[in-house]
């Protein structure tokens, strides 16, 4: 009888197997793209309050994405713009970071004109899939969106790295971009 009770306890213990594993939280959806590739041009609307860009082609919604626009002191100006230049592999001529001799980032918010301490080096920030909007250096490009819904850039419109090549291919020089508060 003791043997049966021991076996029953063993079976229950095996069946339980420790505390249950909590379900995985779903990853946040950062963008959606459902473009039909029609002949009409793409239009872009960026809403600063929501940190969202919406895309239309011929009046049809074709997608949206979270963006990160200018943080306090580097705000992104509302207005009507158009893409004036496209460069797939661009680096900032104003902002970047400082690395020590081992490649460790020691200053993540450096400017091109900051003094570079001995043994460190200045690294210009990559701006992949650059789409220029102004003649003073504001554009859309791939970048980190550290906290979706919150501004984080020096004025540019950052677009998620996974999505920006798709947008870059869908737009052309002259694509209208409306930025609203």
Helix then strand then coil, % of the chain, to nearest 5: 10, 40, 45
- Cα–Cα distance measured from residue 131 to residue 145, given in angstroms and rounded to the nearest whole number: 17
Q: Which residue has the higher pLDDT, 79 or 109?
A: 79
| Per-residue confidence (pLDDT) for residue 15, from 0 to 100 | 43
In this model, does residue 169 exceed pLDDT 80?
yes
Residue 42 pLDDT greater than 50, yes or no: yes
> For residue range 47-77, what is the model confidence (pLDDT) as tens digits?
999 999 999 999 999 999 999 999 998 899 9
Model confidence at 14: pLDDT above 50? no
pTM of the model: 0.81
Percent of the chain with pLDDT over 90: 78
The predicted model gives 150-174 an average pLDDT of 97
Class of domain 28-180: mainly beta
């Amino acid at each position: 009888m003791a043997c049966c009770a021991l076996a029953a306890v063993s079976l229950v213990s095996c069946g339980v197997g420790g505390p249950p594993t909590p379900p995985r939280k779903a990853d946040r959806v950062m963008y959606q793209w459902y473009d039909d590739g029609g002949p009409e041009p793409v239009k872009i609307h960026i809403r600063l309050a929501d940190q969202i860009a919406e895309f239309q082609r011929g009046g049809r919604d074709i997608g949206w994405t979270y963006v990160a626009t200018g943080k306090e002191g580097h705000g992104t100006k509302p207005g009507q713009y158009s893409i004036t230049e496209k460069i797939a592999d661009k680096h900032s001529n104003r902002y970047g970071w400082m690395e020590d001799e081992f490649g460790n980032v020691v200053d993540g918010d450096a400017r091109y004109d900051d003094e570079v301490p001995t043994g460190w080096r200045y690294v210009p920030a990559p701006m992949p899939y650059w789409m220029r909007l102004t003649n003073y250096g504001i554009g859309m490009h791939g970048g980190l969106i550290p906290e979706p819904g919150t501004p984080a850039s020096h004025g540019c419109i950052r677009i998620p790295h996974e999505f920006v090549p798709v947008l870059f291919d869908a737009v052309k020089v002259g694509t209208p971009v409306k930025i609203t508060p």
